[in-house]
Amino acid sequence: MNKLKTRVLSFPLFLSLSLSLSLNIHSLSTSPPTSPPLLSILSFFYPLTLELIMAESPSSSLSNIPDVTSNLSRKKRRKIGPHNPLQLSSVSGQSRWRTESEQQIYSSKLVDVLRNLRRPESASATGRVVRDAADRVLAVSSRGKTRWSRAILTGRLSLRLAQINKKHKKALKPGLSNSRVKKPAGQRKLPPVQKKVKVLSRLVPGCRKLSLPNLLEETTDYIAALEMQVKAMTFLTGLLNGGVSAAGGNDHNISSS
């Protein structure tokens, strides 16, 4: 009994130690200038974020655990690629989202998460729940390297914690009124372009205070990821459509993508 207990206790310690070690080594080799330390820690906890996604659905049956551990082991075997997407690797970053394998990985993960999803009471909110799950899985697929993915994941967590303080949060947003103020003459960009940049930065999650080149890099990656998400979800919908009509015994044409 004692041996079992020590093993159970030592595993999380070992995991946290290894992760902190890898964090130190990685921060020595490449120093990401833009990500605050908290968010960069999140990028190394991306194997655990899949657990977080599963944990958000309260179906804590034991059958989830082999899924999660198989996903964890799958992710650990994959090599972590070059870490700076904000510099020259924008082309490889986009083509990463366009590969067929990435789409299949995303689809399978989404299916896993959706199967264990919690059902909300109102029927109209289910779409929102599915959308949130899809965004979360998309963010995890980004492996913590992009700012928008980290913002999506931390946003979900902080939303849960701050549900009580919603009014307090709304009171703390004076920035919206300030954005209409005209920029001083020292700015090189014209105000109409700057306005559009602001709008764009609001659309891409987590990029409100980003400089323009970084914002555009994030945007390109985000657009590629969104396109992949649309393709994968269309594919899944087609599959389920075909399955439903087959199970119902209808004679409709099964539309598979």
Partner 1 sequence: MSSRRSRSRQSSGVSRISDDQIADLVSKLQQLIPEIRSRRSDKVSSSKVLQETCNYIRSLHREVDDLSDRLSELLESTDSDSAQAAIIRSLLM
**Sites of contact with partner 1 (CB under 8 A):** 33-34, 90, 94, 104, 107-108, 111, 114-115, 117, 119, 126-131, 134-135, 186-190, 192-193, 196-197, 199-200, 203-204, 209-214, 216-217, 219-220, 222-224, 226-227, 229-230, 233-234, 236-237, 239-241, 243-244, 247
Q: Which is nearer to partner 1, 63 or 163 (CB)?
A: 63
Cβ-based nearer residue to partner 1, 42 or 236: 236
CB of 103 to partner 1, least distance (A): 10
143: left (phi over 0), alpha (psi -120 to 50) or beta: left
Q: How far apart are CA 257 and CA 247, in angstroms?
A: 18
Per-residue three-class SS string for the chain: CHHHHHHHHHHHHHHHHHHHHHHHHHHHHCCCCCCCHHHHHHHHCHHHHHHHHHHHCCCCCCCHHHHHHHHHHHHHHCCCCCCCCCCCCHHHHHHHHHCHHHHHHHHHHHHHHHHCCCCCCCHHHHHHHHHHHHHHHHHHHCCCCCHHHHHHHHHHHHHHHCCCCHHHHHHCCCHHHHCCCCCCCCCCCCHHHHHHHHHHHHHCCCCCCCCHHHHHHHHHHHHHHHHHHHHHHHHHHHHHHHHHHHHHCCCCCCCCC
Q: Which is nearer to partner 1, 19 or 155 (CB)?
A: 155
Closest distance of CB 78 from partner 1, Å: 16
- CA separation, residue 238 to residues 33, 90, 128, 243, 250 (Å): 42, 31, 20, 9, 15
Closer of 18 and 213 to partner 1 (Cβ): 213
CB of 9 to partner 1, least distance (A): 34
Q: Which is nearer to partner 1, 6 or 30 (CB)?
A: 30
Q: How far is the CB of 46 from partner 1 (least distance, A)?
A: 21
Shortest Cβ distance from residue 19 to partner 1 (Å)? 26
Cβ at position 47, least distance to partner 1 in Å: 19
CB of 123 to partner 1, least distance (A): 8
**Judged by CB, which is closer to partner 1: 19, or 239?**
239
When the beta carbons of 79 and 209 are compared against partner 1, the nearer one is 209
